Amino acid sequence: MKFKGFLKDVGGASRVARARLEAFAAASAEPVRDDPIGDVARAWHPGRLKLKVVDIREASPTAKSFRFVRADGGELPFFYAGQFMVLDFEIGQSLISRPYSISSAPSQARGKDGFVEITVRRSRGDGFICDHLNDDVKVGDAFTALIGCGQFYYEPLRDAKRVVALAGGVGITPFASMAREIAAGKLDADLTILYGSVASNDIILKDELEALEGPRVRVVNVLSGDEPGWTGERGFLSADLIRKYSQGDTTYFICGPQVMYRFLREELGKLDIPARRVRFEVFGQAKDITAFEGFPGDLKDATFRLTVRRGIREDVIPAKATESLVVALERAGIRIDTGCRSGECGFCRTKVLAGSVYVCPENDGRRAADRDFGYVHACAAYPTSDVTIKIPIE
């Protein structure tokens, strides 16, 4: 339709207003609540869910696998193999959360009988929650959890088809999920897991992983201890060993204890691997913050006053210099949202209003503008004076 000479027409404004009102008058008066795009977002990320433990079984002499389903019988969310879930605990007056890599496959979470599993090893005396899970938790116990967090998963548009996983200790769990997903034909990748343990009875999920071996999944156990009779690989996950099991374009996924990360950064550096082919799982909460450069050593026994503002409310709690702000809050029973506890995900983003903190350099995943305005990720920030913070109301 052409309006020759329209520049003489001055009625346009009235005409469009009339058209608008006519369209509204002709519209239905029935409320339409359909939000299918939001529904998909909620199916993947429903927020915290109530889960219950339906099965506990041994994954090694020192580790157990815990199987969860939704307490309300609903469907579990979608997630990627390699991601973790955050599990919430109430122990005494403490409100504690922990991230655990999901060791079951995403496809096992589908359907009415879907489940998720985590596999947790008893600590060597320093893992309060790991021991609590191994010793106290029983079938039927209920938890709240956030499923499907983190960036440690196979991304087909980024990663090579061939994947070599470098696992240490309980760091096998995300690879158990990937191996299961590949074996189920749901993930298109070829996976070789180089799994370092001290002794053969430390190997977690040994039988279950061996059962997954096939054309696309291979598991190579590597023992660092001097175990007589072991015919497999020995030593650490060295550059030579990695080279031996690599073939062509490969993406390396690494998950294990912090000492292994330091070791592997060096070993991988000896190989000619592009940066984009190396993916580390998050570092985890620093085991000993006093060992990091720049931490004020004279504060190692100090405890400060931590003033916590939530809305217009203020609470004052003690906070040790050697424990993160998150730990101080959890001890005091003040809920704070946490995810990776490695400074990366930012769930525990917190504003420091007064006082000073030390941020673990290994775990400083902040946005630039956040740094400028005194925001920290509370899981990676340690008080070095009396401190006032503001956190969300949970």
Residue among 6, 73, 92, 301 that touches other proteins (CB under 8 A) = 6
Supply the minimum distance, in Å, between the C-beta of residue 336 and other proteins.
Answer: 10
303 binds other proteins (CB under 8 A): no
**x-or-dash string of contact with other proteins, 115-154, rule CB under 8 A:** ------------------------------------x---
The region of 36-44, 89-97, 139-147, 321-329 touching other proteins under the rule CB under 8 A is 36-44
Supply the minimum distance, in Å, between the C-beta of residue 189 and other proteins.
Answer: 14
Select 110 or 122, whichever has its Cβ closest to other proteins: 110
| The two three-digit tokens of residue 320, written as one number | 């040790």
24 binds other proteins (CB under 8 A): yes
Instruction: List Cβ neighbours of 119 (8 Å cut-off, separation of 6 or more).
Output: 59, 63, 64, 65, 66, 103, 170, 172, 173, 176, 204, 205
Residue among 48, 88, 89, 110 that touches other proteins (CB under 8 A) = 110
Supply the minimum distance, in Å, between the C-beta of residue 316 and other proteins.
Answer: 12
Residue among 113, 207, 215, 275 that touches other proteins (CB under 8 A) = 275
288 binds other proteins (CB under 8 A): no
In the window 67-106, what residues touch other proteins (CB under 8 A)?
78
Select 34 or 226, whichever has its Cβ closest to other proteins: 34
310 binds other proteins (CB under 8 A): yes
The region of 22-30, 59-67, 86-94, 191-199 touching other proteins under the rule CB under 8 A is 22-30
| The two three-digit tokens of residue 57, written as one number | 């079984």
112 binds other proteins (CB under 8 A): no
| The two three-digit tokens of residue 92, written as one number | 């005494």
The region of 3-11, 119-127, 213-221, 320-328 touching other proteins under the rule CB under 8 A is 3-11
225 binds other proteins (CB under 8 A): no
Select 57 or 158, whichever has its Cβ closest to other proteins: 158
The secondary structure of the chain, three-state, reads: CCCCCHHHCCCHHHHHHHHHHHHHHHCCCCCCCCCHHHHHHHHHCCCCEEEEEEEEEEEECCEEEEEEEECCCCCCCCCCCCCEEEEEEEECCEEEEEEEEECCCHHHHCCCCCCEEEEEECCCCCCHHHHHHHHCCCCCCEEEEEEEECCCCCCCCCCCCEEEEEEEHHHHHHHHHHHHHHHCCCCCCEEEEEEEECCHHHCCCHHHHHHHCCCCEEEEEEECCCCCCCCCEECCCCHHHHHHCCCCCEEEEEECCHHHHHHHHHHHHCCCCCHHHEEECCCCCCCCHHHCCCCCHHHCCCEEEEEEEECCEEEEEEEECCCCHHHHHHHCCCCCCCCCCCCCCCCCEEEEEECCEEECHHHCCCCHHHHHCCEEEHHHEEECCCEEEECCCC
Select 40 or 54, whichever has its Cβ closest to other proteins: 40
Supply the minimum distance, in Å, between the C-beta of residue 172 and other proteins.
Answer: 23
In the window 345-384, what residues touch other proteins (CB under 8 A)?
346-347, 349, 365-370, 372-373
Select 153 or 195, whichever has its Cβ closest to other proteins: 153
Residue among 58, 74, 91, 158 that touches other proteins (CB under 8 A) = 158
394 binds other proteins (CB under 8 A): yes
CA distance 173 to 208: 12
Supply the minimum distance, in Å, between the C-beta of residue 364 and other proteins.
Answer: 9
316 binds other proteins (CB under 8 A): no
